[in-house]
Amino acid sequence: MMRLLGHPPPVTIILVVINAAIFAYGMLSQTQSQIIAHYGFIPDEMFRANNSLLPDSLLRLFTSMFVHANIAHIAFNLFALIYMGGFAERSIGVPRFVLLYIVAGLGGGLLHGVVASYVLSSGDSILIGASGAISGILGVSAALGDIRGYYWLGIQVLYAFIGSFASLSIAFMAHVGGFVTGLLLTKVLIEIERRKRDWRSNMFST
């Protein structure tokens, strides 16, 4: 399962380009606010509205991962993606990396949405950004043995608790949800790979 060759990580590069291109288009065309309004995820539309809005909400949950609010927002996320994405992509391979990135982003958005709609009563606020998906990439590192990932998770949980009282605009629960999704999914992939190796070993030894 481990692939640590030194070649450039193609998916990480593509994700950086896509996110940067969408943000640049919005800023240059002066349509950034419309992009956020049309492609950001609104939790209440999924959890508190009628079922007719569910397909659109699911689509917005996905598209929200590629929309950012401002230069600081996208710069921080893309720096984190560049810093962590290469290691994760080389470690688990391109297909798994793509799957994990998307599922972690969705998982982070869903956890944020549940907490926002049912606990904090802030589900009418728009969620945007790749933080949940990128947090999932950090979960890969933790699953592969980097204990610093768990320290980061503890900080995010603490900030999420503080943010529930201080009305911070950062969706820390999306970070938590993305990390946990990435961590658990990577552990599942590792276990599947281990069982495959054991099966091959038993097959050739008999």
| Domain limits, the chain | 10-205
* Residue 178: CB atoms within 10 Å: 35
Q: Which H, E and C letters describe 20-51, residue by residue?
A: HHHHHHHHHCCCHHHHHHHHCECHHHHHCCCH
| 16 sits in which H/E element | helix 10-28
**pLDDT confidence of residue 157:** 75
Task: Please give the average per-residue pLDDT across 192-196, as a whole number.
Answer: 84
Structure-block tokens of residue 13 = 């590069």
DSSP-H helix ranges across 93-171: 94-118, 131-143, 148-166
pLDDT value of position 179? 93
Question: What CATH topology corresponds to 10-205?
Answer: Rhomboid-like fold (1.20.1540)
Across 22-26, 116-120, 159-163, 199-203, least confident range:
159-163
Q: Which pTM value belongs to this model?
A: 0.86
Task: Provide the CA 190 distance to its chain's centre, in angstroms.
Answer: 19
**4-37 per-position pLDDT tens digit:** 445 779 999 999 999 999 999 999 999 999 999 9
Which tokens hold the place of 77? 């996320």
The tokens for 31 are 């349509």
Q: What's the pLDDT at 3?
A: 44
Predicted confidence (pLDDT) at residue 41 exceeds the cutoff of 50: yes
Residues 139, 88 contacting (CB under 8 angstroms): no
The answer to whether the beta carbons of residues 153 and 178 sit under 8 Å apart is no
Residue 160, pLDDT score: 67
The mean predicted confidence, pLDDT, of the chain is: 86
What is the average pLDDT across 86-95?
89
Could you tell me which of 40, 34, 178 has the C-alpha nearest to residue 106? Answer: 178
**Each residue's pLDDT tens digit, 139-177:** 998 898 877 778 777 777 776 666 555 555 678 889 999
